Structure 1
Amino acid sequence: MRMLARLFVAVVAFSAMLLPGGAARAADPVVETFNVWQWNVAGWTMNQGSATNGMVAAAAASIVNQNADFAALNEICWDQYKALQARLDQAGWPEGTSYSRFATIRNAEPDTSAACDGERFGIALFSRRQLGIASQYALPVDDEGGVHKLLCAPLAARPHLRFCSTHITSSNKEIGGSRINVQQLAAVLGHLQDFYADGDTVLIGGDFNARPHYGRLDNWYSPSLDVPNNSGNTGEHRELDDMEPSCPGVGETTVGVINAKGEAIDPEPPCGQRPKIDLLFVRESAIVGPYTGDSLEISTACGGPCSDHRITTGTVSVRIQV
């Protein structure tokens, strides 16, 4: 079915490029379908920077088994990032050699007791197809150390399609007169708006540290999402799991039973499940047809849970300017 879907999308895309007389019109968009994958791997807090304890192997296996086109990772150490590259190369997943990008949130430190044993700590993205030049943007600084970022890269063959990864702070403190998490969300949204103004289609995945029904995401979600669990929205995006039948407007939980400190994560309203904070957003106007999202059980291949977050996946067809 996946192959048939891709063939159908290719035929639609090619047909859309032709005028009645058969002449190509470069301004017409194409439509392509993508599988998106996202995981906060807790690379330091639960894996102590290890590239060999099972987490990297679990990530690589999931990316391949889920037939992912794009993968975004949060809280990953540099050594883990390089090990994941090697695993994916070995599996024959990428179609080229320039398919991953890394953005540092905390720089390498001489103190090996620091995050990632002193190595760099950050976010990353991977693409099955060749990537173009990446851009990274520093977000407003919180008081927890490091600098949160937005990392984006276009497909080399589709420069108007960008894949992005971000990790919003968990801090809710007021800094400079407003909450720092709200400032960071606004900064990310501003960069996305700039991409859209340039004609780009953007797929973004990350740990947003905000539940879908929170007010600080109202200007992300489109007003077309208007259900009891999530209403009053003013934005232009849909989240790929936002119509999950078990919790419409929110989606499935994306966290585990315990957090990185070993503390229990309790179920909460509106659907009596643990929080959903890892999200996959696409601008509604770019979406063609139905879309789906899912949340996968946490691998226990690390002598226990490999993370306190679940892997989040989604499938969506989007218009892309050519």
Structure 2
Amino acid sequence: MRNDAFYPIGTPGQPWTAAEREAWLARQVRRRSYATDVVEAVERLRAHLEVVEYGRIEYGSEGYPLFAVRSRGWDETLPVALVTGGVHGYETSGVQGALRFAAGHAADYAGRANILVAPCVSPWGYERIQRWNAQAVDPNRSFRADSPAQESAALMRLVAPLRDRVLVHIDLHETTDTDETEFRPALAARDGRPFEPGSIPDGFYLVGDSENPQPAFQQAIVAAVEAVTHIAPADAKGEIIGAPVAAHGVINYPVKRLGLCAGVTDARYVTTTEVYPDSPRTTPEECDAAQVAAVRAAIDFALAQG
């Protein structure tokens, strides 16, 4: 089924111009507070983690400081475990899961790994519960040298000195019903393409790197998360969101070629989590806990393998 006129902005078949982007921006409304939900939570972590302000996002009169937290007593001889959340600002459990891991578990790895957590890469999108940034650019397709997204460029600058030392990177995401009702239709309209309706997987799944799939690593994470929440099954085509299922709850993308956050380092072990908070079979608390379980399992597996 095609629906060329599904989205209310733009002319079907024609990519957006500056005028359509401005019309889209005018529709975006602040719905929650980055300062309250994220910055205050980061400040509470100063008691046992080092807080790093690694950049600032500016859109007109609005500015957002970007924060990461890292292990106290950083040891240059130890491997680095990188956790990122909120690359898509609307994906709440990615942000909350990263903060919850930092608060409750980052110190567990003292003497074994340096932990670096960037809990909310896209604060403007977080406040508006939006996938894109204020320029209608998807940060999670923008992790490349000529990045058009301030958010992506700032994170790349943060990790650049560590790029070769990161052992494991886990990027925390969600797949929501609004992917199908808002964000995919908006993408099709922005790019002047027809909207092709799809389906939303009911449950947790992982996106590995097709160039470096590490199947045992991915399955260790799935096994840990399965104790917390359900894993998404394949659809009738044996796929999840249009990609072939490589193993239980796992698909693979070429993360560097697509400019995904998971490709921002040369880590041996990389993955992107996807929880489904709109499922009637789960809760926000369970989604946050699933993200934490995934982070812990990823780091534990990577350290055990060396």
Structure 1 length-normalised TM: 0.30
Task: From the two aligned structures, give the one with the greater helix fraction.
Answer: 2
Question: Which has the higher relative contact order, 1 or 2, with Cα contacts under 8 A spaced 6 or more apart?
Answer: 2
Task: From the two aligned structures, give the one with the greater strand fraction.
Answer: 1
